[in-house]
Structure formats: structure tokens, C-alpha cells
Amino acid sequence: MEHLVPDTLLKIFTNNDTSQPIYFQIHVAKSLSEPGKKRLLINDSKWCVNGIFKPNEHQKELENFKKFNIYYSDNYHLATVNSKNFIIFNTLKNIGDGPTVDKDSFQNLEHYLKDHPEINKYEKSLNLANTTTNNNHPTTTHSPSPSPSTNPQSTITKQNNNSSTTPSNISSKFKCFITIDQISAYQTQWSIKARVSFKGDIKTWSNARSSGKLFSFNLMDETGQIKVTCFNAAADKYFDIIQENKAFYITKARVGVANKKFSNLSHACELTFENETILEPCEDEAVAPIKFNFVKLNELANLENNAYVDVLGIIKEVGENRSFTSKATGKEFERRDIVIVDETQTAINVGLWNKTARDFNLDVGTPIAIRDAKINEFNGKQLTLVFTSIIVSNPNVPEAYKLKGWYDKEGSLGNYTNLRSTTTISNNLSSKDSILERLTIKAVNEQKLGYDASKPDFFTLKASVSFIRPENFSYPACSSTDCSKKVIQQSDGTWRCEKCSLNFPTPNHRYIMTASILDETGQMWINLFNEQAQTLIGVDANKLLEIKEKSPTALKNYLNDKVLYKEYAFRIKASLDSYNGQDRVRFQVLSLSNIDPSIEADVLAEQIDKFNF
């Protein structure tokens, strides 16, 4: 036990200091109901105390765990659970074997601190926080909120005089402080201090059983996040009070099992605010600041699709907020794209959605930190925000000050490599880079592109169109400018769009085409939507349908003359699809262009010159 130093554990509590790395032995361990979570009894060769390890963003699992081994941690904090002191470990590193010991051979630190409260600075800090809460913070009440379409302002007022309790003795009910990761349905008394990391809009519902309204928000502390929902009267009471990045003391909220259908947070539980719930604002210093584990932007190119990362960057571009309708669900969405850069001379697109997109008002040149940004792979790497994501502008961290200084000095004038384009070949399919990175159909099949169900593959190839299916190459679509939904012919001969609730005398036909392409190595079936098919055919779907209606021969002659057996460069997305219970790869054309013989010849000549004949 050469690594162990007696009194290490004692000093953590007496100094209230968790900044120093520690070595200890785990001599008792018990697996809890939550996967990967363990309750521990640890010692420093003299004192023993309770500990907990739970999988988190810093360490997903406790690898090669072995009882009686020596462990090291440089990321931990103190917590009180049911009046007992715990050390909560975010990281644990197995150092090596330790001796087998009896659990009764150490002094119980919990009992010692209870007998000597005057030396327990950690306990004193909790008492001070409670005293500050009692003296300085009134309780919050709120009149019914305005409708969601208005722009409500925060209001914090004292509780109504008709209440039987005063702000002081309400605050005294904040007892048994725990961290968010310790919240469970088995605890009857608990309080937390947490920061609002996300706030949603008020939503309404109505069905055969009931109707009402709700809004949800996320709370976070240094250990994680948890979802909170307020229904009906609670939604009216708390909607204006809850504001993003504000910190609160909270107790007496109902704990339930998290409904993963409506939340992608990792916490197994979620909270509901009820009449008995008590909430008071607290000073920012009372809640640990958001912690980040930053990844440089140039490293994102090598990370897996759908991974979650923390990034730090300077806003380089801010796009317009735009609305669109999901083809799959018909729901309206809002999206705004911004571009951030860092000192690696890398730029990446970040997609903001709905309320975040609508309310975004930061200027170009502002440093921002993003926690839990999700990596997407569509036309290259990009980031998108999800419900767990957090944006902090001008973060108070050393990395942000350093990055801002670099940007002001030289970064604002620099050239950047944008991951959205460089990982997918140039948008110009006739460029030298695009030509050099082309694949053949045989290579696509040998590399099994598109067979990974977790992410699509993208590639470019040069091929000739050998056949276009003449039947069902288009569908009758809505004639509205911003709608492409299929329309249904009515008994009176008009065409109705259910989405727009409008009837039209004629439909606007749009392409949904299947074609066969060939190169010197093989054949492939591809799918083209309206824009890509129109580029290939040269006329819109209405015109091609007119040609087909003249006679099948006229359609055949047009395709033979204008399209078939001509070479094109295709940019293709390969993804796994399921049809009648069978998995197959679907090849979707994203863009295409004619072959430029001059550029092709120049590139070929450069490659021949490399052989030094």
C-alpha cells in the first residue's frame, strides 16, 4: 500500500478541498440497480468512508474492477445523502493490487466527523449555504403566464401574504442536499441546487380523455442533467420564473421514471413540479459552473457519426432563421446555421433548431462553448444541437480567453478548412480533387459502402446512364410554392392537397426516378429526386410526362437522344434500407454534373507524368 497516505480522506473534509488527486483502496463494493453504478467503501490505510462511482461523461465504465486494488482519482466531489457523507467519483483509475484487509480495521470517518463537527469544513459550507438561502432569498410565486406567442419577462416576487409560511421557514425545508445523479424514487427527503440548462415552449394537448398544457426544462449540476415537467397550473406558475442559465434551490418535486420517448437525457428519473414543490433562486456561485471537455475542431473529422462532443469556437458566420416542413411528419421546424472556427484553422457548421434558432442573437466574433453537440455526417461533418446541448457565450474559462485573443490578432482574417465540404469532396464534381477521389462501382461493392446501419456513406463516381424506368418516374404534387406533398384527384376532377387544404385544377408533377448506371466495372441502380432528375433529363417532370403521353416511342427517342449512354459525375449517398423484411443498400443521387473533357484530360496527364516515363 505504498501509494496510500494516512489522513488523506480526513483532510478532504476538514479542508473542504477536492482539488488534489488522491490514492485509496476499495475494500467493499456493491453494485446498484443502475447499470455500472457502484457503492464503495474506501480507505487511506487509516480512515474509511463511503464512495459512489456512476458512469458519466468523464468515464463510461469502471474497467477491470477488482476489490482490494489501489485506485487513483483526480475528478471527484463531496455530497451528503440521507445525512451521510459520500465521495462521488467521476473518474477511477486502477493502479494495481492491494492487500486483502478487514473492513473493521479502519477508523470510521463518518462517525469521527459527527463527533467533531467543528473540524468538518465541508459540513460548515453546507450550513452556510442554507443560512444564506434563509436570509437572502424570497420564495417565488407567479401569476398565470401569457400565451406562448408572447415574449414573457421574468418576475420574482414574495409569496402571497395568505400563505401560512414565511420565506424564512420555507427555506428551512431545504435539507439533505444531494446531487442530480443521486436523485432516485427511493429518496423521500432531498434538495438540490441546480442550473437551468434548457427551457422549452409551452405546449398544449387535447384528446378524448383530457386536455391541458405543459412545458419542460432541464436542470444540471456538476454531475449531470435531469428533465423537469410542469403541467397546467404548475406551467402557469413557473413558466416565467424558469429562465435558462438561472440557478435555483429545489425540493419536494415528484420523482418518476424517465419517459425516454420524450427525453434523450441519460438520467433514469425525471421530475414533476407539483403544488408542494418549493423553488427559490440562488446565487450563481452556489452551483458549480458547467464543465466542458473540449475537443478541437480539426479532431471532429476522425470521430464517429452520432457522437456527442464539447467544442469551443468563435462565431464566424450566422445564417438566417428559416422554416420548413418535415416530409415525414408534416411538422413545422425552424433552423438556423452558424459556422464556428478555432485556432486549428478549422471551421464547422452548427445547426440550431426551433427556439434556440429563433432566439439566437450572438454576433460574429463571439466565443461560444457548446456542450453535448451531436456529430452528423451529411455532405461532410457538421454539428447539431439536441435537447441536452448547452450553449454558453463568452465562457469564463482560460481556453476561451486564449482563443479570443488569437482570433482578434490573426484568426478573423484566416482561411479555414470547412469539415462540411472537405470530408465529402468538393461540391464541384469536375474539380481535380473530386476526380482523383472517384470510386468505381466495383470498389463501392467491395468496400460494402452503405452497409453500416449507424451511418450513411458518401462517394463520387463517373458512369453512364443505361436505362430509366419509364413507368412511375413522377408523382402528382401540390402546386403551392413551398409544398411538395402528393395530391389526390377528386370526383370533380380537381386535385386536393390535404396539407394545404387546397384544390388545384392540375397537379405539378415532380420526379421520383429510378435509373441504371454503368461503368467499366459494373452496374448500379440509383434513385433521383426532383432537382437531380431534372438536371439529368433537361426538362421538368410535367414536360417529360407530356412527351410520354404522346407515345411511348416519343419518350424512348427523347431519352436515347438526350440522356442515355452519356457520362456524368454522380455524388451519391449509400444507406441501408429495409424492404419487405430484407435489408438492401439504397443509392441516392445528391448531385450530378456533365463531364468536362478538358479538365479530365489535364488530370489524367498529371497522373501519367508521375510515372516518369
Across the strands, what pairs with 241?
Answer: none
Nearest to 297 by CA among 356, 224, 370: 370
Higher-pLDDT residue of 430, 609: 609
Residue pair 379/590 in contact by the 8 Å Cβ criterion: yes
CB atoms within 10 A of CB 60: 9
Please determine, for residue 450, whether its predicted confidence score (pLDDT) is greater than 80. yes
For residue 596, what pLDDT is reported? 87
The CA-CA-CA angle for residues 95, 98, 104, to 5°, reads 130
Smallest Cα–Cα separation from 199: which of 362, 376, 359?
Answer: 359
Asked if the model's pLDDT at residue 8 lies above 90, the reply is yes
CA distances (Å), origin 131, targets 125, 166, 347: 10, 15, 48
541-550 vs 552-562: helix axis angle to the nearest 10? 130
Closest to 441 (Cα-Cα) out of 468, 469, 466, 460: 460
Q: What is the pLDDT of residues 317-371, one digit of tens each?
A: 888 888 776 655 667 788 888 999 999 989 899 999 888 888 888 988 999 999 8
CB of 474 closer than 8 Å to CB of 512: yes
83 has pLDDT over 80: no
Please write the tens of the pLDDT for every residue from 501-528: 888 999 999 999 999 999 999 999 999 9
355, 292 contact by CB (below 8 A): no
Phi-psi category of 7—alpha, beta or left, where left has phi over 0 and alpha has psi -120 to 50? Answer: left
Mean pLDDT over 293-309 rounds to 86
In the 8-state DSSP scheme, what is residue 552?
Answer: H
Q: Which of 168-182, 313-327, 411-425, 491-505 is predicted least confidently?
A: 411-425
**What is d(CA 542, CA 474) in angstroms, rounded to the nearest whole number?**
9
CA distances from 544 to 27, 292, 469, 510 (A): 78, 56, 13, 10
Residue 139 is predicted with a pLDDT of 33
Contact 282, 373 (CB under 8 A): no
Which of residues 157 and 90 earns the better pLDDT score? 90
List the grid coordinates of 417: 478548412
Cell (9 digits) for 603: 488530370
Residue with cell 439529368: 536
Separation CA 214–CA 201 (nearest Å):
8
Sign of CA dihedral 603, 606, 610, 613: positive
CB 412 within 8 A of CB 341: no
> Which has the higher per-residue pLDDT, 167 or 192?
192
In whole angstroms, give the CA distance from residue 62 to residue 55: 8
pLDDT-derived band of residue 313, with 50, 70 and 90 as boundaries?
Answer: very high
Q: Give the list of residues 6+ apart from residue 49 with CB closer than 8 angstroms, or none.
A: 9, 41, 42, 43, 85, 86, 87, 108, 109, 110
**Residues 341 and 347 sit within 8 Å (Cβ to Cβ):** yes
Q: What's the Rg (C-alpha) of the chain?
A: 31
Give me the pLDDT at residue 433, please: 74
> Does the pTM exceed 0.85?
no
pLDDT 10s digits, 559-612: 999 999 999 999 998 888 876 667 789 999 988 999 988 888 988 888 888 776
**pLDDT score recorded for residue 141:** 29
- For 491, phi then psi, to 5°, come to -65, -25
Give 96-148 pLDDT, tens digit per residue: 888 888 878 899 998 898 888 888 888 776 665 444 444 443 333 232 333 33
Contact status, residue 25 vs residue 4, Cβ threshold 8 Å: yes
Give the distance from CA 71 to its chain's centroid.
32
Percent of the chain whose pLDDT exceeds 70: 87
Q: In the structure grid, which three cell numbers stand for residue 513, read together? A: 426516378
Is residue 551 over pLDDT 60?
yes
Q: What is the pLDDT of residue 31?
A: 82
Sequence-separated (6 or more) residues with CB below 8 Å from residue 329: none
Mean pLDDT of the region 39-65: 87
Q: What is the DSSP string of 271-315?
A: EEE-TT-EEEE--GGGSPPPP--B--GGGGGGSPTT-EEEEEEEE
How confident is residue 162, by pLDDT bands cut at 50, 70 and 90?
very low
Q: Strand 107-108 and strand 47-53: pairing?
A: parallel
Cβ of 316: how many Cβ atoms within 10 Å? 20
Query: Do 260 and 382 meet the contact criterion of CB atoms below 8 Å apart?
Result: no
Cβ pair 252, 158 in contact under 8 A: no
Mean pLDDT computed over 62-73:
88
Higher-confidence residue: 88 or 135? 88
In the chain, the domains with their CATH numbers are 8-125 (2.40.50.140), 180-281 (2.40.50.140), 294-418 (2.40.50.140), 432-473+512-603 (2.40.50.140)
Whether residue 451 is predicted with pLDDT greater than 90 in this model: the reply is no
- Determine the Cα angle at 368 with ends 362 and 373, to 5°: 110
- Give yes or no for residue 296 having a pLDDT over 80: yes
Amino acid at 605: A
How distant, in Å, are the alpha carbons of 74, 205, 432 from that of 58?
11, 38, 43
Mean pLDDT of the chain: 82
CA 397 – CA 399 distance, rounded (Å): 6
State which amino acid sits at residue 152: P
CB within 8 A of 534, min separation 6: which ones? 511, 540, 541
